[in-house]
Amino acid sequence: MQIIENTKVKEKLYIEKLENGLTVMIIPKKGITKKYAIWGTHYGSIDNNFLVPGETEAIKVPDGIAHFLEHKMFEQENGTNSLDTLTAIGANANAYTTNDHTAYLFECTDNFEAAFDELADYIQHPYFTDENVEKEKGIIGQEIMMYDDYPEWVIYINAMKAMYKNNPVKLDIAGSIESISKIDKDILYKCYNTFYNPSNMVLVLCGDFDVEQMIEGVKKRLLPVKANGEIKRIYPEEPDEIVQKQIEAEMEVSMPSFMIGYKVKLEPEENVVKKHIAIEILLNLIAGKSSNFYKKMYDQGFLQSPLDLDFEFTENYSHVLIGGQSKNPKKVLEELNKEILETKKQGINKEDFERIKKMIYGEYVKEYNEVGNIARMFISDYFKGINSFEYLENYNQITKEYVDQVLKEIFIEEKQVISIINPKKENK
């Protein structure tokens, strides 16, 4: 067993790779009443073209299949639904699909063993029939249509389409009505057997656990499945350039919304954690709620609330996102570009840099106050090849000079897009 300790937050991470390939990560929290379990597979919406271990021909599956599979996993052969079963015993359960992983989770204060039994049972016993697959198409079809009417989602997907020519990150996680119509039980089993093999999965547990006992408890719940070989994922070549500078749509909104994106290229050997911290510092320095730019835009009435700032990345794509609402998104973009140009010329203010850096460190430390935050953070980082403690360990390496360099590398107008949702014009 590997033990990694972080003295800054006084936490220990225990990692055990089981015989069947499953990675188990346990972060014990003494005296905490809440327990959290999250079981994930390295299988997301972008994994729609792959080579099954042991086979020689790649297969292309319909878009949205990872999300479809997530929906179907709760339905049991005896007619019960595992979400209902977990709710009935007092566990707060859920599941989600992202671009790069799918996860099943629950948190509870009582009945942990019973809830864990249910989680292990439904994840290892898929039950797909022609009838229940057809029925699910209707349910997911409604969800897709609902998201099509959801401005926050449309603005995000449009930003992806403006940035990416071929990368499947530009596709809706749930797929389309047309793509899910091609899903059947055989293809679901094929994807399940490929991606839900223990060697492609990780289980993260956070709470007041005895580590050795918990490892034994995991082992006794596992079916005798052997680890399979490496799954070869096939992704299309993606050019460095953006597709289009601007993309606009009209929806039922009272005020225009916008999302500014920067397409980022991460080098294979790069320290992505260090770069991520630098980008967080830059985003807060340039456009955070204490920045000169935000204060100016707020005072002039162009922004009413702080902007959403984010850096999303996997080994296949990465981008910076700045989103919000404004009566004039193009004015916000223009002023943001001026601010970035000025900051590049002058260099980052030393005092502001130190202040923001401390604030971000405080936010990292705060993540360790809650078992759910810890578990979700560790699983998400795991699928990116990162141990979450690395953010605390890399923090001291971040210098003002390094952040100045990252500013010049990433915030480039040629790599910048804007997605705007305008209110629908009145029909004259």
Single-letter code of the amino acid located at 315: E
In DSSP terms, 321 is beta-bridged to 261, 310
Q: Decide: helix, strand or coil at residue 90.
A: coil
Strand order in the sheet with 308-313: 246-251, 416-423, 257-263, 318-325, 308-313
Neighbours of 157 (CB within 10 A): 20
| In the block, residue with structure tokens 């999302």 | 259
Residue type, 271: N
Active site (annotated) includes residue 75: no
Check 11, 70, 136, 390 and give the catalytic one.
70
CB atoms within 10 A of CB 121: 14
H helices present in 164-271, as ranges = 177-180, 185-195, 211-221
Q: What is the C-alpha to C-alpha distance for residues 25 and 334, in angstroms, rounded to an integer?
A: 46
**Cα(326)–Cα(420) distance, rounded to whole angstroms?**
10
In single-letter form, the type of residue at position 328 comes to: N
Active site residues: 70
